[in-house]
Amino acid sequence: MLCKQRSVMCYVLLPSCILFSTLFSVSSFDSNSQEIPTFGKYLVSLGSKRLLAENSGKYLVSSGAKRLLAENSGKYLVSSGVKRLLADNSGDYVSNSALILAEGRTYRKDPLNDFKRYTGGWNISEKHYWASVAYTGAPIFILAGIWFVVFGVCLVVIALYYCCCRRPPYGYSRIAYALSLILLILFTVAAIIGCIVLYTGQGKFHSSTSNTLDYVVDQANQTAENLKDVSEYLAAAKRIGVDQVFLPANVQTDIDEIQTKINSSATTLATRTADNSDDIKHLIDSVRLTLIILSAVMLLITFIGFVFSIFGMQSFVYILVIITWILVAGTFILCGVFLVLHNATADTCVAMNEWVQNPTAHTALDDILPCVENITAQETLNKTKEVTSQLVNVINQVITNVSNVNFSPVFVPLYYNQSGPLLPTLCNPFNPDLLERKCSSGEVDLNNATKVWKNFVCEVSSSGICITTGRLTPAIYNQMAAGVNVSYGLYHYGPFLVSLQDCSFVRQTFTDVHTTYCPGLRKYSRYIYIGLLLVSVAVMLSILFWVIYGRERRHRVYTKEHVPKPVGDFEQEKQT
């Protein structure tokens, strides 16, 4: 009798014990991530959709971050000595007082530092940050451990019990039987709902991660393409003869140097993007596959276990229980991983936004991104304008002083028998003060000057003298075209280069990611861990009730066999 009492206690206590430890560990989990306590509610009101569509904006802007934003808005902080994308290294940093990114969100316990609060904010090169994020999954990892150990011990105890003190089952109670059946059905339904949540969640998670990745890859791709274009225009600099009329040698080497840098930046960007995006794509796809398989397997197991249990196939149930015991532990761990992932994603989203909002502050992101100060960027922009303008001036001087003048044959290198209609001059897009200038009539635009001038090229003799009408020899034309190309490249892509240099391009990208992609990423990573938690808890409880119901059922059958009943009832019972 005692033995039986104890095993009943075990049956009844184990589910409630696990349920309570879930609730306890989850609600005692203190973090600022306010979504965690909703697990508790979730377990109680299974399948409540309202909680899934939870208000994500609540902890989006933490009060700490708001305070910091207000404090720093007046200060002028300058970014630290970061790697420079382009040539310029002149900008020294004045101050390095730092803005802590996502401070409110990342104020968590740090297991690497005696569980003191971590205050460094979002910083992916800081191991304490990762430790504190990983710690947010601790309740679920602990739950997985508890489940694994406690249920394992229970299995051993049950096995021993069956070996040592097995006795004819008796003590059938109609209420216990009905209750266990109802709970079995309830948890089976809950597990099925969990599988559905998980399945739909993974679909949405996959598409939102893929879209984000595509957007970022596309941005990087465009940048690489632009850089390659710039590089091609600058390649023209190589064709500008040093011994010729214009473009001194030092300017040419300068341009060459810039081109090499741009070229290598473009190549690095393109290859890194390709490599990383391939890796991330594979990762996303395997996550998707894992989740699909997991939800399918869990659904199948729930169903099979339910059927086995209902039809009293005890030995199958026990095999299934052992398999599922391990699967549930694995699912809990996966759930913890997704919770950590969700928190890290949300931190990153907040950090990106704060970084965009505080362009002058020094933050952890500046260690990763090679941005220069705005002043340096403006100087670069000035320089590109200057070079453009000077090149145009040089070309125009050649046109007005050489090509368009009818020299007498004694002025040899200037005379090359130029004749015919006058060459139109090139439109300078900038005034001497580097402000934008409108072209006057009769000037040709930078983008089609080469096409227009093509009509003025003459045929030359072996000595390089025009033998047909025209004002440009092919050699001079090529050099002028090369000069135009360099000018055009700098004029057209200058602002783009500067936007790379001062990271305004990255800021725009981050803004887009924050507003367009972050809400989905956060929402659907939450879907997944809630789905995983729901599945694992529901399946966990289902397992218990497979066993409990199986036992009650055996007792019922035994009791019915030993307490004579009308024949019809007995037959009916045997058939089930």
Ligand X SMILES: *[C@@H]1O[C@H](CO)[C@@H](O)[C@H](O)[C@H]1NC(C)=O
Using the minimum distance from each CB to ligand X, give the nearer residue, 36 or 466.
Answer: 466
Helices 37-44 and 518-562: crossing angle, nearest 10°? 40
State in angstroms the smallest separation of the CB of 412 from ligand X: 12
The residue (of 316 and 415) whose beta carbon lies closer to ligand X is 415
Query: Cα 491 to chain center, whole Å?
Result: 34
Q: Which of residues 120-139 bind ligand X (CB under 6 A)?
A: 120, 123, 125-126
Per-residue contact flags (x/-) with ligand X for residues 10 to 39, judged by CB under 6 A: ------------------------------
Among 68, 337, 395, 482, binds ligand X (CB under 6 A): 482
Which DSSP helix (H) or strand (E) runs through 110? strand 109-110
Q: Which stretch binds ligand X (CB under 6 A): 18-26, 166-174, 194-202, 218-226?
A: 218-226
Helix (H) or strand (E) holding 235: helix 174-235
What is the per-residue binding string for ligand X in 269-308, x denoting contact by CB under 6 A?
A: -x--------------------------------------
- Taking the complex as a whole, the smallest distance from the CB of residue 435 to ligand X amounts, in Å, to 8
State which of residues 155, 369, 434, 557 lies at the interface with ligand X (CB under 6 A). 434
Dihedral (C-alpha) 66, 68, 73, 79: value to the nearest 10 degrees? -130
Token digits for 483? 């000069």
For ligand X, the closer CB: 14 or 460? 460
Which is nearer to ligand X, 108 or 551 (by Cβ)?
108
Contact 50, 41 (CB under 8 A): no
150 vs 13, 15, 47, 326, CA distance in Å? 12, 11, 27, 12
Q: Which of 428, 473, 468, 434 is closest to 453 using CA atoms? A: 473
Interacting residue with ligand X among 231, 295, 348, 509 (CB under 6 A): 231
Q: What is the CA radius of gyration of the chain?
A: 37
Of the candidates 348, 358, 374, 428, which one interacts with ligand X according to CB under 6 A? Answer: 374
Q: How far is the CB of 370 from ligand X (least distance, A)?
A: 14
Min separation Cβ 426 and ligand X, Å: 11
Q: How many other CB atoms are there within 10 angstroms of residue 268's CB atom?
A: 12
By rule CB under 6 A, what count of residues binds ligand X?
Answer: 50
3-state secondary structure of 426: strand
Residue among 202, 259, 403, 428 that touches ligand X (CB under 6 A): 259
**How far is 199 from 421, CA to CA, in rounded Å?**
75
Question: CA 445 → CA 431, 436, 481, distances in Å?
Answer: 15, 14, 12
Residue carrying structure tokens 């004819």: 168
Min separation Cβ 254 and ligand X, Å: 13
Residues 209 and 282: beta-carbon distance below 8 Å = no
Nearer to ligand X, 37 or 111 (CB): 111
Q: Return the residue of 253, 290, 397, 431 that touches ligand X, per CB under 6 A.
A: 397
State which of residues 203, 241, 312, 359 lies at the interface with ligand X (CB under 6 A): 359
Is 400 near ligand X (CB under 6 A)? Answer: yes
Q: Is 455 in the site for ligand X (CB under 6 A)?
A: no
- 157 versus 439: smaller Cβ distance to ligand X: 439
**Using rule CB under 6 A, residue 445 touches ligand X:** yes
Question: What phi, psi does 436 have (nearest 5°)?
Answer: -60, 145
Site for ligand X, residues 173 to 202, rule: CB under 6 A: none
Cα(473)–Cα(491) distance, rounded to whole angstroms? Answer: 26
- Of residues 276 and 559, the one with the C-beta less far from ligand X: 276
**Those residues with Cβ within 8 angstroms of residue 63's Cβ, 6 or more apart along the chain or in another chain:** 104
Cβ at position 395, least distance to ligand X in Å: 12
Among 293, 319, 326, 375, binds ligand X (CB under 6 A): 375
Q: Which two tokens stand for residue 288?
A: 């998707």
* Closest C-alpha among 576, 487, 23 to residue 309: 576
Distances (CA, A) of 452 to 69, 228, 233, 236, 456: 55, 26, 18, 18, 8
Closest listed residue to residue 323, CA positions, set 300, 355, 353, 350: 300
Q: Which of residues 232-251 bind ligand X (CB under 6 A)?
A: 232-233, 236, 239
Q: Is 113 in the site for ligand X (CB under 6 A)?
A: no
Among 34, 63, 244, 469, binds ligand X (CB under 6 A): 469
3 state SS for 354-411: HHHHCCCCECHHHHCCCCCCHHHHHHHHHHHHHHHHHHHHHHHHHHHHHHCCCCCCCC
**Taking CB under 6 A as the criterion, which residues in 73-112 touch ligand X?**
98
255 belongs to the binding site for ligand X (CB under 6 A): no
Verify binding: residue 417, ligand X, rule CB under 6 A. Answer: yes
Token pair 């990255």 is found at: 506
Contact positions toward ligand X, by CB under 6 A? Answer: 98, 120, 123, 125-126, 221, 224-225, 228, 231-233, 236, 239, 259-260, 263, 270, 359, 363-364, 367, 374-375, 378-379, 382, 397, 400-401, 417, 419, 433-434, 445, 447-448, 451-452, 465-469, 478, 481-482, 485, 502, 504
